[in-house]
Amino acid sequence: MAQLVSARIRRRGLMLVLSSPSGAGKSTIARNLLEEDKSFELSVSLTTRPRRGSEIDGVHYHFVSKREFDRQRDGDALLEWAEVHGNFYATPREPAEQAMAEGRDMLFDIDWQGADQLRAKIPADIVSIFILPPSMTELKARLMRRAEDQEKVIEQRLKNAREEIEHWRKYDYVVINNDLQVAFNEVKSIVAAERLRRDRRPGLFDFVTGLLDEKV
């Protein structure tokens, strides 16, 4: 009952940013979160990278040519964009702005450059989590196990991982993804606490007014 009352109080949407070096497990954690918590919607990014075998256009990414990417960037259709591992990635502006306007929660699987840009643009709504691997050896093993990229690509991603990890300090939270279930529970705890923040719940004003007006 107490939980139901709390859920009825109007709040602003949560813009949850997950970043990590490639292979640390952020897409796995994001996928689990989207399955379990239906109030989250994934921000589907644009990318110029070739589609992996397991990926679906429009679901995992919008796969576009560099020409189409440039067209959208020049038309101010992108909320942020970055070059990562030699490919271009971007967050489409319209769905994110609409989610924010309607107070819905959105999940962004983006790198540190994108996180920097979103923090600068919408500082009040962003909650950022950096996912770390338990070791570099395990990171390499995961990239190899995923087996969706060529060896050359894996080597480049591993080389870039050290530079990406350097950005951990700018994130609100850091989760070490050793055991997936533990890491996932930590992410869920962060989300639960962030949704309860006073400044994210404008509906509390009405609730407290009603509480104080109540005759007993």
Which residues between 103 and 122 bind ligand 5GP (CB under 6 A)? 109-111, 113-114
Is 69 a binding residue for ligand 5GP by CB under 6 A? The answer is: no
Is 90 a binding residue for ligand 5GP by CB under 6 A? The answer is: yes
DSSP sequence for the chain: -HHHHHHHS--PPPEEEEE-STTSSHHHHHHHHHHH-TTEEE--EEE-SPPPTT--BTTTEEE--HHHHHHHHHTT-EEEEEEETTEEEEEEHHHHHHHHHTT-EEEEE--HHHHHHHHHH-TTTEEEEEEE-S-HHHHHHHHHHH--S-HHHHHHHHHHHHHHHGGGGGSSEEEE-SSHHHHHHHHHHHHHHHHT-GGG-TTHHHHHHHHHH---
Binding range to ligand ADP, per CB under 6 A, among 33-41, 42-50, 86-94, 140-148? 140-148
Q: How far is the CB of 85 from ligand ADP (least distance, A)?
A: 11
Between 34 and 53, how does the x/- string for binding to ligand 5GP read (CB under 6 A)?
-----------x---x----
Chain residues binding ligand ADP by CB under 6 A are 20, 22-28, 142, 145-146, 177, 179-180
Chain residues binding ligand 5GP by CB under 6 A are 19, 22, 45, 49, 80, 82, 84-85, 89-91, 109-111, 113-114
